[in-house]
């Protein structure tokens, strides 16, 4: 079975040690390396453990005949534009967990008109994971606020809106959605 463990790990900017520590139960970087290179057989159990550590579906770690992968032609690096040393692919965006989409119609902050944002919904017990990140928060009557999460305290959040000159908002909310991915057409 051909695995894409290395491609996914590198796309997420993680080291072998990072993945090994995130596995439940933790393992060694050497074991992850052997599974990546095929020196050790990848069982379904290992595939599920590594998928959990990488926060992806197990299917994202194997080559599937019906999935279209985007081949990497070049890598923009500090030393210039280089061809990959070995064949690589880019993972297509996949909604995981409890996600919502945000469409940008008018440029705000770092976002341009036409951008699509993929955001993960978090309950109040996980708000602290989104501090200093852009978030969407619900407001009464089907409205929302969007901006940088500055602080949180027991379900109350402080949001700095993305529009220049806007005042900070302090809101009591049951959930928020932290931006995880930006999809931009050029």
Residue 171 has a pLDDT of 93
Q: What is the pTM of this model?
A: 0.62
pLDDT confidence bin for 61, thresholds 50/70/90: confident
For 34, list phi and psi in degrees, rounded to 5.
Answer: -65, -35
pLDDT tens for 160-172 read: 998 888 899 999 9
Render pLDDT for 132-156 as a digit per residue (tens, 0 to 9): 999 999 998 889 999 999 999 887 8
The CA-based dihedral angle spanning residues 141, 145, 151, 152, taken in that order and rounded to the nearest 10 degrees: 20
- Split at pLDDT 50, 70, 90, the class of 72 is confident
Task: Give the mean model confidence (pLDDT) for residues 52-78.
Answer: 81
Helices 29-37 and 44-54, packing angle to 10 deg: 120
Q: What's phi and psi for 75, nearest 5 deg?
A: -120, 120
CA distance 115 to 156: 28
**Which CATH code of 1.10.3730.10, 2.10.109.10, 2.60.120.620, 2.30.40.10 fits the domain covering 99-183?**
2.10.109.10
**DSSP 3-state of 130:** helix
User: Domain extents for the chain?
Assistant: 5-90, 99-183
Let me know if domain 5-90 sits in CATH 1.10.260.40: yes
């Amino acid at each position: 079975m051909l695995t894409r463990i290395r491609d996914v790990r590198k796309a997420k900017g993680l080291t072998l040690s990072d993945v090994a520590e995130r596995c439940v139960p933790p393992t060694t970087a050497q074991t992850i390396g052997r599974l990546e290179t095929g020196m050790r057989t990848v069982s379904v159990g290992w595939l599920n453990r590594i998928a959990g550590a990488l926060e992806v579906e197990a299917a994202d770690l194997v080559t599937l005949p019906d999935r279209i992968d985007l081949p990497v032609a070049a890598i923009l690096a500090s030393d210039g534009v280089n061809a990959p040393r070995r064949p690589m692919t880019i993972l297509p965006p996949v909604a995981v967990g409890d996600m919502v989409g945000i469409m940008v119609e008018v440029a705000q902050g770092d976002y341009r008109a036409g951008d699509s944002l993929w955001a993960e919904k978090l309950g109040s017990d996980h708000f602290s994971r989104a501090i200093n990140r852009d978030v969407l928060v619900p407001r009464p009557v089907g409205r929302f606020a969007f901006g940088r999460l500055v602080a949180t305290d027991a379900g109350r959040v402080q949001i700095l809106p993305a529009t220049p000159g806007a005042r900070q908002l302090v809101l009591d909310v049951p959930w928020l959605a932290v931006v995880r991915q930006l999809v931009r057409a050029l």
